Structure 1
Amino acid sequence: MSNEAIQEGGSSGHFAVFSSQNSKFRYTYNKIREVKSCRIGELFAAYRDILWDDGRHKYNVSSFIGEIDEILLGERFSTFDQNTLDNLIGTLRQRGNSNATINRKMAALSKLLRKAHKMGDIHSLPEFRRQKERAGRIRFLERDEEARLFAAIKSRSEDAYRLSVFLVDTGCRLGEALGLIWNDIQDHRVSFWITKSGRSRTIPMTERVKEVIKLPPTTEGRRPKGPFAMLTQAQYRAIWNEAKTEVGLGADEQVVPHILRHTCASRLVQGGIDIRRVQMWLGHQTLAMTMRYAHLATNDLDGCVVVLEKPRADEATRQAETSVFASPLTTPSPSKSTRKPKSEAAAVKAVGKSSK
């Protein structure tokens, strides 16, 4: 463009026009947003209500992000680089966090940073790699443990007892049960709409579940919103902890309300229900989650023992029967001891000629 070109558009607009004796150019440009440094806590305050629904999960995420912000010493940044992420994971591991716990915390951080990057709050993202988790032993309640624990819960709260029975027979999560409303229970089936995976599911109810969803006849006043709406998670967990201590399970860290979900899954698998249907019953997003219980389906392997325990005599008989139908190519040739001597064969041949 020659020096005679003049600018016809002002710089304050979204476009500018340049012209010369021979040509005219028009171009557009977007406004450039300045990326300011920010803290993890500030990003969480900006996007928490957009990314997470109210509930226990959101409460846990808030705790995770608060710990991460504390580890980073409230540092302000415009780029969250790989070195920062690696140091963060190293610190969490030094604090005694398992790989499973680290993965949960990093999942929350990754979700927050991806939103911030999309909105232009930070320049770039690090690579989040899932830490390898060990497959731990799954604890579930035996029938006698359930009976003792539920009796102790019932002595403290009839509503908590009803909820316990509902949890172990449906296998639902505690939050799913507490979030039920009466309209979710229709035709001897219960539908869970507020789920961790975001996918609703409907399952049939056992006879005792049909009984425990009914409110006791002594209930007075206005009916609650749902069968367990009179309880909160904190109240139920407090009753649970007192009851498990009373029955001698206080030292077992795995005896938490979620063990009722494990117990339901274990009983389904041990009863011969296939893994796919167990997945649908529990509402697992992936089959890999349900496969944790697959080792309990021992009935599927019983046939292997029958084969291994067959007597050797039966095997020898089978081999003898098979040899009758063996191919000539695989049939062994007669041994030298069974063959006729050459002299004898020649004599037989000579007799045959003389008879002619």
Structure 2
Amino acid sequence: MSNTLASAAATFESEVELPAYSLNYQYSQSPRVTVVKDTSLQAMFGKYADILWGDGSHKYNVTNFIAELHDLLQPREFSGFSQDMLDFLIGALRKRGNSNATINRKLAALRKLLRKAHKMGDVHTLPEFTRQKEKAGRIRFLDKDEEYDLFTTIRAVSEDYYRLCIFLIDTGARLSEGLGLRWNDVQEPRATFWVTKSGRSRSVPLTARAWRAIEGGDRRKSGPFATINQQRFRRAWHQCKDEIGLGHDDDVVPHVLRHTCASRLVQGGVDIRRVQMWLGHQTLSMTMRYAHLASHDLEMCIPILERMAGASPSASASVN
């Protein structure tokens, strides 16, 4: 049986030509994609800005600070931020004419961003940040004539801008606090600021004209000043200040309204602790910048000194 099968198989192979199969396997390998992680300040800011800073003028300033520091750094990408890099930035900012106070504000933003990046593993080492010593600066505030000229010019541009200025100068609120005010935050005769620079809410009573400024707002909007765009307001402010001859004064910015409010409180005899609470300063040292404006109160010390000197044994002695 086996011989017969073997013979049949041989006969089949000789008579039938079996096809030849050629198996060609081609392996197509895609190029390896390498993900490059951008570790520049600008990239980190884009990643964490919305987490670290809320919308408002402070975030706008921080955006400019980080952009400037990003442009100064060489190389711009890094895995660790060294002390030499920090010292280089400080020196570069000084060469640009930045005061120590300005440098401190810029480095505060940098420090906050780098600490977040370090926590998330984007940066491996951090430098030691040391606050630059600041000089006591001049406090600029508006007198009554300057207020009248500036506000009248602003009112000709926009009634809403005028209302905002009235509110800021009579409450001492920061620009971002005024713009962020919501209708539920206003209960006559007080306004409450929930989102503040210090992170602590505060309430202040309203003057009659500050209340009128609020009532002029559109109730269909989220707040009394919700129709105002901050950047457009700033541009209008600077144009109006140029028109009344204050264009040369770099200190006449919207924040001067807060200084004016504080100065008027101190000059009017309000004690410094109440002024601190009104402005929402975290430390009394911030409010003490206005204390010199109350120096006229020192006159009351003279009668006391003279009375005490008259009671002393040497009172009758002649003074050479």
* Superposition TM-score, scaled by structure 2 size: 0.81
Distance in 2 of aligned mates of 1:40 and 1:93: 20
Structure 1: segments with no counterpart, 5+ residues: 1-35, 324-356
Post-superposition Cα deviations, 1:218-250, rounded to whole Å, max 9, x if no partner, equal x7xx72221111211122222222222222222
Q: How does 1:119-138 map to 2 (within 5 A)?
A: 119-138=120-139
Secondary structure, counterpart of 1:213 in structure 2: helix
**How many residue pairs align between the two structures?**
281
Match for 1:298: what amino acid? S
Distance in 2 of aligned mates of 1:299 and 1:142: 18
Structure 2: segments with no counterpart, 5+ residues: 1-36
Q: How far off its partner does 1:261 sit? A: 0.4
1:70 aligns with 2:67: no
Match for 1:181: what amino acid? R
Q: How does 1:334-345 map to 2 (within 5 A)?
A: none
Match for 1:256: what amino acid? V
CA contact 2:163–2:216 (8 Å) conserved in 1: no
CA contact 1:141–1:259 (8 Å) conserved in 2: yes
CA contact 2:309–2:315 (8 Å) conserved in 1: no
Distance in 2 of aligned mates of 1:122 and 1:240: 41
1:319 aligns with 2:320: no
Tell me which structure has the larger Cα radius of gyration.
Answer: 1
Post-superposition Cα deviations, 1:98-122, rounded to whole Å, max 9, x if no partner, equal 1111111111111111112222222
Q: How does 1:218-233 map to 2 (within 5 A)?
A: 223-233=220-230
CA contact 1:194–1:200 (8 Å) conserved in 2: yes
Distance in 1 of aligned mates of 2:304 and 2:248: 43
Distance in 1 of aligned mates of 2:189 and 2:124: 53
Q: How far off its partner does 1:39 sit? A: 2.1
Post-superposition Cα deviations, 1:73-113, rounded to whole Å, max 9, x if no partner, equal 34332221111111111111111111111111111111111
CA change 1:306–1:40 in 2 (3 A) is same
Q: How far off its partner does 1:316 sit? A: 7.1
Q: Which residue of 2 aligns with 1:32?
A: none
Distance in 2 of aligned mates of 1:174 and 1:232: 11
Match for 1:289: what amino acid? M
CA contact 1:272–1:299 (8 Å) conserved in 2: no
Q: How far off its partner does 1:37 sit? A: 8.1
1:264 aligns with 2:261: yes
Percent of aligned pairs with the same amino acid: 60
Distance in 1 of aligned mates of 2:181 and 2:63: 25
Q: How far off its partner does 1:307 sit? A: 5.3
CA contact 1:40–1:74 (8 Å) conserved in 2: no
Q: How does 1:1-356 map to 2 (within 5 A)?
A: 38-215=39-216, 223-306=220-303, 310=306, 319=313
Post-superposition Cα deviations, 1:133-170, rounded to whole Å, max 9, x if no partner, equal 11111011111211122122222222111111111100
Secondary structure, counterpart of 1:134 in structure 2: coil
Distance in 2 of aligned mates of 1:254 and 1:74: 35
Q: CA RMSD in A?
A: 2.5
Of structures 1 and 2, the one with the larger relative CO (CA 8 A, separation 6+) is 2
Q: Which residue of 2 aligns with 1:23?
A: none
Match for 1:94: what amino acid? K
CA change 1:56–1:320 in 2 (3 A) is closer
Greater helix fraction, Structure 1 or Structure 2: 2
Post-superposition Cα deviations, 1:170-192, rounded to whole Å, max 9, x if no partner, equal 00011111111111111311111
Match for 1:73: what amino acid? Q
CA contact 1:172–1:261 (8 Å) conserved in 2: yes
Match for 1:319: what amino acid? P
Post-superposition Cα deviations, 1:244-294, rounded to whole Å, max 9, x if no partner, equal 222222221111111110000001011111111111111112211111111
* Superposition TM-score, scaled by structure 1 size: 0.73
CA change 1:76–1:315 in 2 (3 A) is closer
Match for 2:294: what amino acid? A
CA change 1:239–1:321 in 2 (3 A) is closer
